[in-house]
């Protein structure tokens, strides 16, 4: 018997992207099979074809988010030719519009909260932290990398909740101080 090929070979990723959208809008606790299927514009049964339940969908969605975000983070640091450019890349990760827009900050909160009760997502979260650290190690010492990663993740959270742009000059001075203090 020949194995059936799915009608839409990108359906699984479409479902995971829809799950992330639903999580961003409704939180992990408000995410359901029906909401995901509607957001993905796929039959409800498609979810059970690809996933073992809502916890599996959420876990795989967070894994997808972490892989995409980690790749973006790493690419920003790989483009830096030297330490000065790496410093500018860190400032851009903190202040720029691309790395942590409001939706991603909401998803990050959801991932951390869900990780407290789900070991698969806790493992994904630890991997997220480790990949960030490894990316920063391309240009910085371990202590600098840890401190910079806290700034990269934390400052966008403050930006979202304060509902105002970050003071780029303050961010730059802080990044330089962290590098100098831990060098």
Count of the separate structural domains present in the chain: 1
Residue 141 corresponds to which tokens in the numbers above?
A: 């010492």
Amino acid 72: pLDDT: 92
Q: Is residue 161 part of a domain?
A: yes
Q: Is residue 175 part of a domain?
A: yes
Is the pLDDT score of 9 beyond 80?
no
Q: What is the CATH number of the domain that holds 167?
A: 1.10.357.10
Environment class of residue 107 by beta-carbon count within 10 Å: exposed (0-12), middle (13-18) or buried (19+)? buried
Amino acid 18: pLDDT: 98
Q: Is residue 3 part of a domain?
A: no
- Say if CB 98 and CB 72 are below 8 A apart: yes
Q: What is the mean pLDDT of residues 124-152?
A: 96
Is the pLDDT score of 36 beyond 90?
yes
User: pLDDT digit string (tens) for 42-84?
Assistant: 999 889 999 999 999 999 999 999 999 999 999 999 999 999 9
User: pLDDT digit string (tens) for 76-113?
Assistant: 999 999 999 999 999 999 998 878 888 998 999 999 99
Q: What is the mean pLDDT of residues 131-145?
A: 96
Mean pLDDT for all residues in the chain = 92
Q: Higher confidence at residue 145 or residue 1?
A: 145
Percent of the chain residues past pLDDT 90, beyond the cut: 80
Structural domain that includes position 165? 11-181
Environment class of residue 119 by beta-carbon count within 10 Å: exposed (0-12), middle (13-18) or buried (19+)? exposed
Question: Who's near 64: CB < 8 A, 6+ residues apart?
Answer: 13, 16, 17, 20
Alpha-carbon gap, residue 18 to 28, rounded angstroms: 13
Q: Is residue 5 part of a domain?
A: no
Q: What is the mean pLDDT of residues 138-166?
A: 92
Q: How confident is the model at residue 183 (pLDDT cuts 50, 70, 90)?
A: low
């Amino acid at each position: 018997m020949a194995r059936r090929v799915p009608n839409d070979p990108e359906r699984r990723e479409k479902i995971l992207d829809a799950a992330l959208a639903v999580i961003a809008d409704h939180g992990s606790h408000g995410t359901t099979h029906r909401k995901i299927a509607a957001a993905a514009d796929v039959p409800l049964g498609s979810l059970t074809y690809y996933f073992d339940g809502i916890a599996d969908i959420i876990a795989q969605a967070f894994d997808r988010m972490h892989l995409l975000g980690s790749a973006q983070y790493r690419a920003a640091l790989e483009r830096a030719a030297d330490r000065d450019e790496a410093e500018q890349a860190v400032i851009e990760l903190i202040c720029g519009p691309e790395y942590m827009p409001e939706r991603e900050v909401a998803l990050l909160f959801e991932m951390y909260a869900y990780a407290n009760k789900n070991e698969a997502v806790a493992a994904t979260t630890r991997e997220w932290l480790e990949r960030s650290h490894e990316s920063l190690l391309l240009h910085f010492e371990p202590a600098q990398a840890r401190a910079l990663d806290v700034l990269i993740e934390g400052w966008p959270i403050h930006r979202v909740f304060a509902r105002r742009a970050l003071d780029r000059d303050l961010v730059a001075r802080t990044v330089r101080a962290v590098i100098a203090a831990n060098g």
